[in-house]
A and B are shown apart, each in its own frame.
Chain A
Amino acid sequence: MLEVRNLHASAAGTGILRGVNLTVKAGELHAIMGPNGSGKSTLAHVIAGRESYDVTAGEVLYEGKDLLSMPPEDRAREGIFLAFQYPVEIPGVSTTYFLKAALNAIRKHRGLEELDAIDFLALVKQKMKLVEMDQALLNRPINEGFSGGEKKRNEIFQMAVLDPRLAILDETDSGLDIDALKIVAHGVNTLRRSDRAMVLITHYQRMLNYVVPDHVHVIFDGRIVKSGGKALALELEEKGYDWIRSEAEVAAQTVA
């Protein structure tokens, strides 16, 4: 589904990604872990199409198509969803209004009929339960005055409504207390499907106690330096990122 090859990207002239390779197949859940500043979030944003990053080399194929030539809204309409680490506030625009516009833009792109208010609300009611969203919250301006946990739940709720093929969750677990983490994890697990891939970006292992990944990758200094199964996450938790750092340094010296 997603094929990242030798991806290099920079922001304001500074290289952040330095040759990322990643293959994600339908039905898989990948966890990407790494210390702060390693390029985790940059990878998520480059896949989603954020214009403030420049791709300097490499390619990304999404379902065989050249993803990097697509504008971000088309990537979304083709089924890529990014759960933001810092969801944005839009004063005066309610979550329901926002989400209806989004869903109908996606449906239109796929040649489906746009949902009217009644059908849309029915869908919302059904998906709300998944992450225990409150109707009143959905009628408030999106993310404005939401707690950290409410914002993250709102992201997962949006994912449930928009029904993406590839979901990238950028540090969705950060800033959540244990109850909220369980709710979010339950939402993510429920949304796992054989025709949907998920990429979970996280700093800590703790979400992986609830969401079990098929593959774990460690990103360091703009490259994926280690890949493995769920055991890798535990090993990382135990040994800390310093272990990766020293291994990476050794590797770099060997190459030199």
Chain B
Amino acid sequence: MSKNQSAIEALANQEYKYGFVTEIESDTAPRGLNEDIVRLISTKKNEPEFMLEWRLKAYRHWVKMERSEGEPKWANIKYPPIDYQDIIYYSAPKQNVETLKSLDEVDPKLLETFEKLGIPLSERKRLAGVAVDAVFDSVSVATTYKAKLAELGIIFCSFSEAVQNHPELVQKYLGSVVPYTDNFFATLNSAVFSDGSFVYIPKGVRCPMELSTYFRINQQDTGQFERTLIIADEGSYVSYLEGCTAPMRDTNQLHAAVVELIALDNAQIKYSTIQNWYPGDKDGKGGIYNFVTKRGKCVGKNSKISWTQVETGSAITWKYPSCILQGDNSTGEFYSVALTNNYQQADTGTKMIHMGKNTTSTIISKGISAGHGQNTYRGLVKMLKGATGARNYSQCDSLLLGDKCGAHTFPYLEVNNSTSTVEHEASTSKIGEDQIFYCKQRGISAEDAVNMIVNGFCKTVLRELPMEFAVEAQKLLGVSLEGSVG
């Protein structure tokens, strides 16, 4: 018994490998939030008038929200009040990366940081088959393969750059899926977001490589507010990956990102996340508060948006990657693995809003709780009147490791027409002593047994990840590669 327990704990208590701090001079805004800070960010980014206007509208709306109901209270998470005046809203390495001509001019400390994280950016070493936008605190440091992608008409750059070079696309689509009034954290993000990635795939183009953004929080007491906007024009396809880490600190840091996806007729977007923000220590001290709004809109007919997430980090995860299925025959998918250990809390799930005819959605959620972790699945499937013939299938499974953790499931269904079908399956299981003994009797160590069982539990989600990411995700879950045989 005690042996199995310790193997479970060993898996749960794996040390956070990305907790280092990069010593770098930063250009940091004063603490706190007011209109001047919003203006300062906009000025730093040399933004056109429409952006400043949008930010200010968001800021004023946020002030109203903060004075009335404040943060959303419905989630199954507990945390002390966040002092929004004690956060630094803008921090960037002193070197102005936006004026650099080539990667050689980038501060070597920045390149080194990403290399340490396994994301080499230099021409020689960069990852084959994956174009990377590297975001450090509030700014994008570098984007690889930009020129090669441009040959196909693909725009892949930092959000700041898109604002400068493609203002018409930004103005058209920014806030079209997540309006600045959407929710407390999205509104805050709209006011102060500093950078992020921008992707545009032109008509009929299949993006030949994985596009990826790697987010790194470095500076202490800063919030990270990035914004990603991906537009897949008619008949195009893109697979996009997102990874994130932060140093180990004993104070909590706020991360409030917004991601908007737009898929036009016959377009497909596959969006994969490995979220590994610092989760806090074993006593629950420190860690990232991850309040993120991710939403995709299948605007066009036959379009498809697929979210895959592996959430292993953060002290708190509050995140519901969703799909608005507006176009007829459009498809939304949500595949999720969320792991909470120690004192981590996750309240995550999705919303599938069916508007168009014959729209389909699939939800596969796997929650793993260890230590004192609390894991909540929260999902909404909504069939509007016009969504005739629409279908949803949801499956929510929870796995408990140990007896101090918790799993909770809150599925909401709203069906407003008689021709749509909704299926929901849920299960909760514990890693059994008998499963571990069976493995051990075959010569497999308890630790490997736990890895294998967890891996098997997550298999249907992990196989949705692109290969490069699947490997990282499995390492993260502390599991060895399942399915390499047979």
Q: Which residues of A contact B (CB under 8 A)?
A: 48-52, 71-73, 75-77, 81-82, 84, 87-103, 105-106, 109, 117, 120-121, 138-139, 141, 158, 162
**Residues 214-273 of B at the A interface (beta carbon under 8 Å):** none
Assess whether B453 is in contact with A90, with CB atoms less than 8 Å apart: yes
Q: From A76, A89, A96, A105, give the contact of B486 (CB < 8 A).
A: A96
Known A52-B1, A93-B459, A99-B442; 14 more pairs at CB < 8 Å: A72-B441, A73-B440, A73-B441, A88-B438, A90-B438, A91-B456, A93-B482, A97-B485, A98-B444, A101-B480, A102-B439, A117-B485, A120-B485, A141-B456
Contact (Cβ within 8 A) A76 B457: no
Selecting from B278-286, B343-351, B428-436, the interface stretch reads B428-436
Docked pose: A99 CA to B444 CA in angstroms: 10
Residues of B in contact, count (CB < 8 Å): 32
Contact for B452 among A98, A120, A139, CB less than 8 A:
A98
Which residues of the other chain, A, contact B439 by a CB distance below 8 angstroms? 90, 98, 102
For B442, give its contact among A52, A92, A141, A158 (CB under 8 Å). A158
> Contact residues of B with A, CB < 8 Å?
1, 3-4, 432-435, 437-446, 448, 452-453, 455-460, 480, 482-486
Subset of 21 A-B contacts with CB under 8 Å = A49-B441, A51-B437, A52-B433, A72-B440, A73-B441, A76-B441, A84-B438, A88-B435, A88-B437, A93-B482, A94-B486, A97-B484, A98-B442, A98-B444, A101-B452, A101-B480, A102-B442, A105-B443, A105-B448, A109-B443, A162-B443
Given known pairs A76-B441, A92-B460, the reply for A51 and B448 (CB within 8 Å) is: no
Beyond A73-B445, A90-B435, whether A100 also contacts B485 by CB under 8 A is: yes
Docked CA distance A100–B482 (Å): 11
Q: CA–CA, A103 to B445, complex, Å? A: 12
User: CA of A84 to CA of B442 in the docked complex: distance in angstroms?
Assistant: 11
Pick from B435, B443, B480: contact of A76, CB under 8 Å: B443
6 smallest beta-carbon distances between A and B, as pairs:
A92-B456, A96-B486, A102-B442, A93-B456, A76-B443, A92-B459
List the A side residues contacting B458 at CB < 8 Å. Answer: 92
| Nearest CB in chain B: distance from A200 CB, A | 17
Residue contact A121 to B485, C-beta cutoff 8 Å? yes
User: From B4, which residue of chain A is reached at the shortest CB distance?
Assistant: A51
Q: Is the CB of A51 within 8 A of B3?
A: yes
Q: Is A101's CB under 8 angstroms from B444's CB?
A: yes
| A168 nearest CB across to chain B (Å) | 10
Say whether chain A's binding surface is mostly helix, strand, loop, or mixed.
helix
With a cutoff of 8 Å between Cβ atoms, the chain B residues found around residue A102 in the complex are 439, 442-444
In Å, the complex CA distance between A162 and B442 comes to: 8
Q: Which residues of B contact A93 (CB under 8 A)?
A: 452-453, 455-456, 459, 482
A90 to B437, CA, bound (A): 12
Cα distance A95–B440 when bound, in Å? Answer: 15
A73 lies within 8 A of B446 (CB): yes
Contact A105 B482 (CB under 8 A): no
Q: Is the CB of A92 within 8 A of B455?
A: yes
CA distance A94 to B486 in the complex (A): 8
With A93-B482, A117-B484 already in contact, the answer to whether A72 and B437 are too (CB < 8 A) is: yes
For the complex formed, measure the closest distance between the CB of B418 and the CB atoms of chain A, giving whole angstroms. Answer: 34
Contacts of B433 in A (CB 8 A): 51-52
A residues within 8 A CB of B483? 94, 97
Q: How far is the CA of A52 from the CA of B433 in the complex (A)?
A: 9
> A139 — which chain B residues lie within 8 A by C-beta?
486
Closest-by-CB residue of A relative to B446 is: A73
Q: Which residues of A contact B445 (CB under 8 A)?
A: 73, 105
Write the nearest CB–CB distance from B227 to chain A, whole angstroms: 36
Does A76 contact B482, Cβ atoms closer than 8 Å? no
A99 to B427, CA, bound (A): 27
Q: Which residue of A lies closest to B453 (CB)?
A: A90
Interface residue from A77, A84, A94 paired with B443 (Cβ < 8 Å):
A77
Contacts of A50 in B (CB 8 A): 437
Q: How far is the CA of A162 from the CA of B443 in the complex (A)?
A: 10
In the complex formed, the residue of B with least CB distance to A95 is B486
Complex CA distance for A121 and B439, rounded to whole angstroms: 20
Is A51 in contact with B434, judged by CB distance below 8 angstroms?
A: no
Q: Are B442 and A97 in contact (CB under 8 A)?
A: no
Q: How far is the CA of A109 from the CA of B443 in the complex (A)?
A: 9
**Least Cβ–Cβ distance between B7 and chain A, in angstroms:** 11
Cβ B486 vs Cβ A101 within 8 A: no
Q: Given the complex, which residues of A lie within 8 Å of B437, measured CB to CB?
A: 50-51, 72, 88
Nearest CB in chain B: distance from A70 CB, A: 11
Check if B444 sits within 8 Å of A73, measured CB to CB. Answer: yes
Instruction: Specify which chain A residues have a CB less than 8 angstroms from the CB of B440 in the assembled complex.
Output: 49, 71-73, 76
